[in-house]
Amino acid sequence: MQDGPAGAQPVYLVHVFCCTNERPATHWRGSCGERGGRELCDYMCRLGMALGARRIRINRAGCMNVCEHGPVMVVYPEAVWYKYETHADVDEIMRGHIIGGVRVERLVVSIDPATLHG
Amino acid sequence: MQDGPAGAQPVYLVHVFCCTNERPATHWRGSCGERGGRELCDYMCRLGMALGARRIRINRAGCMNVCEHGPVMVVYPEAVWYKYETHADVDEIMRGHIIGGVRVERLVVSIDPATLHG
């Protein structure tokens, strides 16, 4: 892959996508939304807005096909995946990784690509 | 930022997020969804599924705050932004960049972070 134009800057220094996909509660794979992902994403968005950092973006996303680990988010461009279940988890990811640049190891999800749902 | 665990692989080699946010047609900023982004994203998702490549993922996303350029998508981990308006545009991005690894320059959107909506 080619490099971008000389001097081009990334739009977002940190771009977070939180899965908010919601399946019926009876679905065998479950879903991030059904496990609280939507409310947690909204909470994280509010934190991001309160921060006022335009180069950090928190976004909702559709199903990222790692439902078994959910609720999940992925942080780009580093491609770090987190599982988060509480506001305290979100606070820790925001403070530690998104702002502080230090990965929150206890919440990192290690996903083996070979196990992705086909 | 630390490196990941030794030998860790990214879950997705190419991870695409298409904005499908929809505002009322009268909104002064417009929206990607209102300009066809949702249908184009669904079309791209179907192409991705037909491809059967589990390490390539096409996702819907909420508003990425570059509405003036929409409909937009961003391709991670490279952080390349595209504006796309037709199925032919989607075909070209899929064939050229997502599968072929060669950026489709005519559709790349250059976004100056200084112009982001505050």
- Residue A1: the pLDDT is 46
- Assess whether pLDDT exceeds 60 at residue A40: yes
* Test mutation, A18, A51, A58, A59, chain B, max B CBs within 10 A: A59
Distance from CA of A74 to the nearest CA of B (A): 10
- What pLDDT, on the 0 to 100 scale, is given for residue B54? 87
Record: contact B80-A15, CB cut-off 8 A:
no
Cα separation, A5 vs A2, whole angstroms: 9
Cβ within 8 Å, pair B59-A57:
no
Residues of A in contact with B116 (CB under 8 A): 11, 54-55
CB B17 within 8 A of CB B76: yes
Q: Which ranges of A1-118 does DSSP label H, i.e. alpha helix?
A: 37-51, 87-93
Q: Which residues lie across from B19 on neighbouring strands?
A: B61
- What pLDDT is recorded for position A109? 96
Partner-chain contact A11 B113, CB within 8 Å = yes
The rounded distance, in Å, linking the Cα atoms of B63 and A39 is 17
Choose among B115, B80, B98: nearest CA to A54: B115
Token pair belonging to B22? 């929809």
Cβ-Cβ contacts under 8 Å for B77 (sequence gap 6 or more): A76, A77, A78, A79, B10, B15
Instruction: Summarize the confidence of residues B55-80 as an average pLDDT.
Output: 96
| pLDDT band for position B4 (cuts 50, 70, 90) | very low
Nearest by CB to residue A77, choosing from B4, B77, B111, is B77
Is A54 in a helix, a strand, or coil? Answer: coil
User: pLDDT band for position B51 (50/70/90)?
Assistant: confident
CA dihedral A79, A82, A87, A88 (to 10 degrees): -110
What is the model's pTM? Answer: 0.92
pLDDT in tens, A65-108: 999 999 999 999 999 999 999 999 999 999 999 999 999 999 99
Is B78 an interface residue toward A (CB < 8 Å)? yes
| B47 pLDDT higher than 90 | yes
What's the token pair of residue A59?
């976004």
**DSSP bridge pairs for B16:** B58, B75
Distance CA A75, CA A95 (A): 14
Q: How far is B21 from chain A (nearest CA, A)?
A: 10
Per-window interface: A 7-66 vs B, CB < 8 A: 8-12, 15, 17, 54-55, 57, 59-66
Choose the closest CB to A59 out of B5, B57, B61.
Answer: B61
* pLDDT at B66 > cutoff 60: yes
Q: Is the pLDDT of residue A9 over 90?
A: no
> Is A114 within 8 Å of chain B by CB?
no
Count of other CB atoms within 10 angstroms of residue B37: 24
CB pairs below 8 Å between A and B: how many?
94
* Cβ burial A61-94 (10 Å sphere, 16+ → b, else e): bbbbbbbebbbbbbbbebbbbbbbeeeebbebbb
Per-residue pLDDT at A8: 67
Q: What is the pLDDT of residues B68-103, one digit of tens each?
A: 999 999 999 999 999 999 999 999 999 999 999 999
Segment B4-31 shows an average pLDDT of 85
Q: How far is CA B44 from CA A66, A69, B87, in A?
A: 20, 25, 8
**Chain A interface, best mutation among B16, B49, B59, B106, by max A CB count within 10 A:** B59
